[in-house]
Amino acid sequence: MSDVSASPAPSNSRVTVSACPLCDGRKFSPVCLSAGHPVVRCEGCQLHLLNPQPSDAELVEIYHPHYSFFGDEQAAGVAVSRCKQATAAHYLDQLAKSGISGGRLLEVGCGDGDFLVQAARRNFSVEGIDYSPHSCRKSQAKLPPGTPVHCGEISVLAGRSASYELCVACDVIEHVRQPGVFLDTVRNLLQPGGWIFLVTPDFASWTARLMGSRWLEFKAEHLFYFTPTTLRRQLTQAGFTDIRILGGKKMLSLDYVTWHFVTYPVVGITPVLRFLRAVLPKSWSQRPWLVPAGGFVALARKPARS
């Protein structure tokens, strides 16, 4: 979720980015529109971003109590949870292959708790934080009693320096107003030698190139669009080392993908998916498959004490 403030009277003014948060460049070139918001490219470092960005009031409206691309549809919720837990298991396998298989874990933007459920089963001591009170309640209901789930922005944990061995943020960094500040906060929360695990849409992916302005990740709440190159640079600036790009696959089912395209219709694709979902056996449409998903995973380390 976004780090936008939940103040009682959020600003109605859209936010103009005068300098690139990655390279401090001030020359931007227009690329396309994302939900009516201009997408621009920094000519200095090739970071893509919305500029101007939605106002605080617009983001508060987007992040309503039931924020999710499938709304309150129970069938869609089951399909999404099934895929998210399968994807979480895949991510945890990637972490295990990198030698990370336990310890105190914080998930930023924990949503409905699917990653935390899987991580708890693998001997992590889990903790979550999310902007949405509704999601926090759903997450808490899935986890063992007493599991800490904090509601609010990551800044509410800023005083817990060096508390975690692993911080996970899946599909979060593209939402935040200040990616560098966000990463600084995570670094301070990590123990020396601790790891950050990030998942974010990839502006250099084949899906982004193929779909152009119809790319599914173009949303008003996605304020920044990274590539492995620009995120690596952002992580380096925040003081992380041993940066690894681990690919960009997720576990997705036909049900999940269809719900997504129904919510964000694309001419020529949405009707085909509806048809396939209607004619294929449920065992096929509900089964998650490991597929390229137009994003990428980054793993990086906070330096150990010298």
* 130 C-beta neighbours (distance < 10 Å), count: 26
pLDDT for 271 beyond 70: yes
| Distance (Å, whole) CA 253 – CA 82 | 9
pLDDT of residue 259: 78
pLDDT digits (tens, 9 = 90+) for 125-162: 999 999 888 889 999 999 999 999 999 999 999 888 88
Q: If pLDDT is split at 50, 70 and 90, which confidence band does 36 have?
A: confident
Q: How many helices (H) and strands (E) does the chain have?
A: 10, 13
Of 239, 245, 250, the residue nearest 290 (C-alpha): 250
> What's the rounded mean pLDDT across residues 164-177?
97
pLDDT for 6 beyond 50: no
| Distance (Å, whole) CA 77 – CA 13 | 34
Of 185, 141, 133, the residue nearest 159 (C-alpha): 185
Chain centre to alpha carbon of residue 162: 23
Q: DSSP letter at 244?
A: E
> What's the rounded mean pLDDT across residues 165-173?
97
Contact 277, 258 (CB under 8 A): yes
| Distance (Å, whole) CA 120 – CA 126 | 6
Of 271, 216, 219, the residue nearest 1 (C-alpha): 219
pLDDT of residue 283: 85
Per the model's pLDDT, the better-predicted residue between 10 and 282 turns out to be: 282
pLDDT digits (tens, 9 = 90+) for 220-256: 999 999 999 999 999 999 999 999 999 889 999 998 8
Secondary structure percentages of the chain, helix, strand, coil, to 5: 35, 25, 40
Q: Which two tokens stand for residue 49?
A: 């971003």
Place of tokens 């997705």: 252
Q: Which two tokens stand for residue 87?
A: 């994807």
What are the structural domain ranges in the chain?
74-200+226-253+288-301
Q: What is the model's pTM?
A: 0.90
pLDDT of residue 232: 98
pLDDT digits (tens, 9 = 90+) for 38-92: 999 999 999 999 999 999 999 888 887 666 555 556 666 777 888 999 999 999 9
CA distances from 15 to 9, 68, 142 (A): 16, 24, 37
Look up the CATH number of domain 74-200+226-253+288-301. Answer: 3.40.50.150
pLDDT of residue 65: 66
Q: Which of 120-134, 211-225, 257-271 has the lowest mean pLDDT?
A: 257-271
